[in-house]
Amino acid sequence: MEKEYFRPSVTVDSIIFSIRDSQAENYRKLPKKELQILLIKRAQEPFKDKWSLPGTFVGEKEKLEEAVNRSLEEKTNIKNIYLEQLYTWGDPLRDPRTRVISTSYMGLVDSDNIQIKAGKNVGDIDWFNIKLNTLKQSNKEKKNGYCKTEEIEIILTNKNETLKSKVKVVKELVNGNLIIYTQILQSDLAFDHAKLLIYAIERLKNKVEYTTIAFNLMPERFTLTQLQQVYEILLDKPLLKANFRRKIADMVIETDQQEENAGHRPSRLFKFNNNWQPHIF
Amino acid sequence: MEKEYFRPSVTVDSIIFSIRDSQAENYRKLPKKELQILLIKRAQEPFKDKWSLPGTFVGEKEKLEEAVNRSLEEKTNIKNIYLEQLYTWGDPLRDPRTRVISTSYMGLVDSDNIQIKAGKNVGDIDWFNIKLNTLKQSNKEKKNGYCKTEEIEIILTNKNETLKSKVKVVKELVNGNLIIYTQILQSDLAFDHAKLLIYAIERLKNKVEYTTIAFNLMPERFTLTQLQQVYEILLDKPLLKANFRRKIADMVIETDQQEENAGHRPSRLFKFNNNWQPHIF
DNA sequence: TCAAAAGTGTTGGACCTACACCCATGT
DNA sequence: ACATGGGTGTAGGTCCAACACTTTTGA
């Protein structure tokens, strides 16, 4: 009675971002911060010993969000974090084994506040620094819009390793509609995870401007300069202090604590203002 | 060697919107426009003879976008339209037969420009007018944010039928992160399609403000008042003419054509400006 | 004393809102 | 003539970028 349809495997993968200190230059200067991503080293084929996004197959009686949370806890020891569904990847050839459709989720954490640990089927786990280089760029005018092609090099580094990927991103504007194609030219990451990463970075940068998403990357209490550093990294441009502070004034609450022993005037600590409501709400 | 994992079925479903005239009152007044959605009547179990979103199972060697386009062409006769992936729905109980995971796509068309036709496995096809009523509403303050609960009645009507659904939408603001749960209380639509519809409407309304998405609903040439009507329907509020025109001035190009026989001063026809670039591009 | 960062005030311009007003047409 | 919509101008307020300036600390 019931026709037999083709059944693919379905997985979830998570792109976990954090913003972490690299190094302080001297006692006076503030430590530099950088955008980082959490990767795990695969213990099994395919892509054995390759670094990859933490993910898992979706269980028979499991919601997608349940699967993401389970995979994070099992493989990385991360629980109860902010997660957001991004996109579903269904290219028939994206997994060499068999047809696997994957839904990607983005998570943002303050890495000082969590303890990562390599879990089930995980060879290794680490934070990797993210650097993007635009190698080539072209901009063509077409009859119903524009076509912008970029070749982007993704360089991921931890203390010992450097992972490189090269991705071609074609952004087309067809009758005002933005259409994006991505193609992996070369990648040290498993599967098509370089694509998932590029997409997540793009989304993260967009959402910073109109949500309070960046506060997920902050500790409970923070200075306004720390917050500004995070915004500057995500927006990828320097901001003017006075203007930044006016802009985020309503989203934070002053505490009576201060940071000390900093080699300069102590800065006040702030916390997120839970009474803040976005315009949409 | 390869462990056997559970495999669900995977489908794609499309929410196709259009803005269509309802009725003109007299020779002078402009026709009223309303937001409508394209539905098909199922010819097979489950939910036989129920109205539903056009969708299909994803084929073995088919991309998700290929599956959406195929299903639209096969079932509704629609080709080459603007489509956008929205969300992937994975609740284990959303299909009574077996585990089915579905990715929803949103499409926007000018319905005067396409010819719909009931295709394969389609009992009937039609445009339904969309009306949303908020039945109940509550707003609770919590220690780390807010919780807003809404009971929404969705009324879909064509010439002969009225389809009602009732949905409970819980919007929570947890440390600044907007989390939305939806629950179907009652629905005349097949499966959980009322949920997919509510989600798509929300997304459509949001995107109108910062994209040129609304132009997909317009014919090739249009008057500025027609365009304003579309914006007013999507934003669900009246706009001031002078201000609206200044806002969209750069997105349109004046043509030398005019509308005539309208019972009032003839209005100039405009077309979309393909050289318009959004800030992000 | 002084480098470094904390923190605040001012000014000009861009943009948005609200409202007022005149124009052209078909019946 | 007049109802109806087409079309434009202006005044006031808000918001934002850019810049200048003062304050406080630890070594």
Tens of pLDDT, residues B173-183: 999 999 999 99
Distance in Å from the first CA to the final CA of chain A: 47
Residue with more model confidence, A29 or B44: B44
pLDDT of amino acid A182:
97
The answer to whether residue A2 scores a pLDDT higher than 60 is: no
Average pLDDT, integer, range A155-184: 96
Contact A216/B175, CB-based, under 8 Å? yes
Contact A82/B175, CB-based, under 8 Å? yes
Tokens of B129: 């007018």
* B100-108/B9-21 β-pairing: parallel
- Reported confidence tier of residue B162, pLDDT bands at 50, 70, 90: very high
The answer to whether residue B133 scores a pLDDT higher than 80 is: yes
Average pLDDT, integer, range B241-264: 94
Q: For the whole model, what pTM was predicted?
A: 0.95
pLDDT of amino acid B25:
55
CA distance B51 to B127: 11
- Reported confidence tier of residue A132, pLDDT bands at 50, 70, 90: very high
Q: Judging by beta carbons within 10 Å of its beta carbon (0-12, 13-18, 19+), is residue B104 exposed, middle or buried?
A: buried
Evaluate whether A36 touches A127 at the Cβ level (below 8 Å): yes
Contact A85/B88, CB-based, under 8 Å? yes
Is A177 at the interface with chain B, CB within 8 A? yes
CA distance A132 to A164: 10
Average pLDDT, integer, range B184-205: 98
pLDDT of amino acid B30:
78
Distance CA B265 to C1' C16 in A: 28
Residue with more model confidence, A88 or A144: A88
> Which range has the worst mean pLDDT, A125-139, A250-264, B71-85, B175-189?
A250-264
Please report, for residues A176, A232, A248, B33, B205, the alpha-carbon distance to residue B212 in angstroms, rounded to integers and kept in the order given: 6, 28, 28, 19, 12
pLDDT of amino acid A25:
52
Q: Which nucleotide is nearest to B267 (CA to C1')?
A: D6
pLDDT tens readout for residues B143-161: 889 999 999 999 999 999 9
Please report, for residues A76, A89, A128, A193, B124, the alpha-carbon distance to residue A189 in angstroms, rounded to integers and kept in the order given: 18, 16, 12, 6, 48
Query: Considering only CA atoms, which of A59, A90, A71, A97 is closest in space to residue A14?
Result: A71
pLDDT tens readout for residues B12-52: 999 999 999 876 556 777 788 999 999 999 999 999 999 99
Sequence-distant (6+) residues with CB within 8 A of B102 are B10, B11, B12, B13, B55, B88, B89, B94, B196
Residue of A nearest to B175 (CA): A274
Is A47 at the interface with chain B, CB within 8 A? no
CA distance B278 to B208: 13
The answer to whether residue B207 scores a pLDDT higher than 80 is: yes
Measured from the CB, is A262 under 7 Å from any atom of strand D? yes
CA distance B15 to A280: 22
Contact B85/A88, CB-based, under 8 Å? yes
pLDDT tens readout for residues A60-94: 999 999 999 999 999 999 999 999 999 999 999 99
The answer to whether residue A42 scores a pLDDT higher than 90 is: yes
pLDDT of amino acid B24:
52
Those of residues 93-132 in B touching chain A at CB distance below 8 A are 97, 99, 101, 103
Contact B92/A61, CB-based, under 8 Å? yes
Domain annotation for chain A: domains and CATH numbers: 9-131+193-208 (3.90.79.10), 218-272 (1.10.10.10)
pLDDT of amino acid B2:
44
- Reported confidence tier of residue A123, pLDDT bands at 50, 70, 90: very high
pLDDT tens readout for residues B64-121: 999 999 999 999 999 999 999 999 999 999 999 899 999 999 999 999 999 999 998 9
For B218-221, which contacts have Cβ atoms below 8 Å and span 24 or more sequence positions?
B218/B110, B218/B272, B219/B110, B219/B112, B219/B113, B220/B113, B220/B271, B221/B255, B221/B257, B221/B269, B221/B270, B221/B271
pLDDT of amino acid B12:
98
Q: Judging by beta carbons within 10 Å of its beta carbon (0-12, 13-18, 19+), is residue A18 exposed, middle or buried?
A: buried
Distance from CA of B62 to the nearest CA of A (A): 6
Residues making up chain A, counted from first to last: 281
CA distance A271 to A59: 39
Query: In chain C, which nucleotides are within 7 Å of a protein Cβ?
Result: 3-10, 16-20, 23-27
